[in-house]
Amino acid sequence: MEKKIKAALITVFHKEGLEKIVRKLDEMHVRIYSTGGTQKFVSELGISVTPVEDITSYPSILGGRVKTLHPRIFGGILARREHSGDRQEMKEYEIPPIDLVVVDLYPFEETVKSGADEASVIEKIDIGGISLIRAAAKNFKDVLVISRKNQYPDLLGILENRQGITTLEERRHFATQAFEMSSHYDTQIFNWFNRDENIPSFKQSIFSGNKLRYGENPHQQAYFYGDFEAWFDQIHGKEISYNNLLDIDAAEGLIVEFSDTAFAVFKHNNACGVAIRSNLFEAWKDALAGDPVSAFGGILATNRVVDDETAADINKLFFEVIMAPGYTPQALEVLKTKKKRIILKRKKAAFPAQVFRTALNGVLVQDRDNKTETHGDLKAVTHRKPTAAEVEDLLFANILVKHSKSNAIVLVKDKQLLGHGIGQTSRIDALKQAVEKAKRFGFDLQGAVMASDAFFPFPDSVQVAHEAGISAVIQPGGSIRDQESVDYCNDHEIAMVFTGIRHFKH
């Protein structure tokens, strides 16, 4: 069922892009109703516009809080054109029909993000606009609703190419987007109010979403909902996959922990090589040395601009993604030689305060693990205290184990990952895996340190670590048998520190 636009109500916050629309409506002899700033904007263009006050016989009141909330406005939007009773009431109460509603809501989210005070945030909760959107969307059989400024080009196309005639399918599509907008808007408002109330209700809304090629496996459909461009510019390469995104998220989570020159190699959400050095090339070489086998097809991440020398060496390896804050021109040209290789430029962005994942028929929500231990968090529990160099390695190792899948053990020396055991069902197995891996790649563990994401339930782990050459250990503590591990360390001159903080990651 086609409908032609004959009367439009326009009330928007952002005026950018609106001029072409109102000029075209005027050219088509569409009657325009408007309010406040929008009315002034249209009028100053020399275009005839009818104030809503002429319909309602009421001025804008309460400092502009009430403008369009009136039966003559909502009646003109909600009236069912094919319903004889509605037509009769419209005639009786002199209600003009409205065929097009254009609304751009008060910028509530932007106001919150700006750090504005509560009073300012409250005033950016749109009441009339959201009501107009819902009314027009409900009556999509007769009314076209434009609910956000990025739909202005779509509306202009309808006016220019179709003389303002829309199909039922088109109006239903715009109505669906309108309810998406209204639900998103209300979700943001609820979550802002619920910061302190803590009503146990899970509500999240993300506008932008992209369909991915597939999920973890080709037979699984997948989407990414979020603003990837807030985090990265993709300079080169193929479409980013579901698994790429998981690795990129994990790599970004680790690399932002470091201020010194760092390089990390990731595979399946775990770091397989990490090093901090005085220059990027050495950091890359020592990160790769941690596990050159797993690095094949991995994700590379650094917190420094990639230079020519480092890029030339990196280019010898097959990898999926590289992410860095920048690249020299020559480095970029070298890295671009592989057509499908994904090259990302990192931006400064903040992780959400909470993380969530599905479980059974619901959602688990928790605060992000933002705790990173410092010198002041370390409690020496053995007779021998760690040296200054050991403390630096222990803190470095503790960051790595925090970002490793549990059960996790990390072995470090001179701020280089030597070996790790990850995702194991027992801590002793994780340690044995870490030791075996370090030895397989030719590392000398004498004087290395060990980090554990959780306490040692038995002293067997420190015994195996000692036999491998470990000189210092960092762990949360908290086992009823902690003293057994401490005693073993004391007997064998191993330094041990407790942090009191567990870093499980599943």
Verify whether residue 268 is a known catalytic residue: yes
Please answer whether residues 131 and 108 qualify as being in contact, where contact means their C-beta atoms are separated by less than 8 angstroms.
no
Catalytic residue among 24, 138, 336, 345: 138
Cβ atoms of 494 and 471 closer than 8 Å? yes
Cβ distance 18 to 12 under 8 Å?
yes
Q: How many whole angstroms separate alpha carbon 41 and alpha carbon 77?
A: 23
Question: What 8-state DSSP symbol labels residue 415?
Answer: S
CA distances in angstroms from 133 to 86, 176, 179, 180, 418, listed in the order given: 20, 11, 8, 11, 59
Question: Do 212 and 222 meet the contact criterion of CB atoms below 8 Å apart?
Answer: yes
Q: Are strands 50-51 and 100-104 parallel, antiparallel or unpaired?
A: unpaired
**For residue 178, which phi and psi values (nearest 5 degrees)?**
-65, -45
Assess contact for 226 and 208: CB atoms under 8 A: yes
| Residue from 56, 38, 186, 165 nearest 100 by CA | 165
Alpha-carbon gap, residue 503 to 407, rounded angstroms: 10
SS3 state at 71: helix
Which residue in 15, 141, 184, 268 is the catalytic one? 268
The verdict on whether 375 is a catalytic residue reads no
User: 340-368 burial, b if ≥16 CB within 10 A, otherwise e?
Assistant: ebbbbbbeeeeeeeeeeeeeeeeeeeeee
What is the C-alpha end-to-end distance of the chain, expressed in Å?
A: 53
Contact status, residue 450 vs residue 428, Cβ threshold 8 Å = no
Distance between CA 54 and CA 33 in Å, rounded? 9
Rounded CA separation 428/455 (Å): 11
The token duo for 366 is 């928790």
Question: What DSSP assignment string belongs to 141-174?
Answer: TT-EEE-SGGGHHHHHHHHHHHTTEE-HHHHHHH
* CB 18 within 8 Å of CB 37: no
Helix (H, G, I), strand (E, B) or coil at 354: strand
Q: What positions carry a catalytic annotation?
A: 138, 268
